[in-house]
Amino acid sequence: MKYFYERKEQENTVEIEIKTGAFYLLIVLIAGWVGLSFVSDSSEIGATVLPLIAAFVVVRFIALWKVQKEVLVAMSKKTLVTRGSKFSFANPLTYIIDKTEKE
C-alpha cells in the first residue's frame, strides 16, 4: 500500500521505504483522543475515536505484514541493510535487501 510503504525493485536490490506520515498520523489520532477525553466529559467521543484508532492500527499492521516477513527473512540471511529513521520525513526508514546470493 502506497500510504504505508513504497517498494522499489532493481536488478540486485529491493528498497522498501516505510512512510513516516502514517506513524505521525497515529500519534496525532491518539493525542487528539486523549485531548478530547480531557476536554469533554462525554464518553461518546472515546467510543467514536477509539475504534478509528484501532481500525487504523489493524490496517497498518495488515499492510506491513508482507514487508515485515520479507525483512525478517533478509535479516536471517544477513542480506539486509537499514538506512534512515522512522521519525524523519527527509530521511525515512528504508530497508535495502540484497538479492544476490552470498557464498
pTM of the model: 0.83
pLDDT per residue over 30-55, tens digit each?
998 888 888 877 777 777 888 999 99
- Identify the pLDDT of residue 37: 81
Sequence spans of domains, the chain: 5-98
3-state class of 78 per DSSP?
coil
What's the grid cell of residue 50? 477509539
C-alpha distances in angstroms, 50 versus 61, 74, 82?
A: 16, 35, 33
pLDDT per residue over 53-68, tens digit each?
999 999 999 999 999 9
**Which residues on neighbouring strands pair with residue 93, listed in sequence order?**
none
- Identify the pLDDT of residue 3: 87
The amino acid at 100: T
SS3 content of the chain, % helix, strand, coil (to 5): 50, 20, 25
- Identify the pLDDT of residue 18: 95
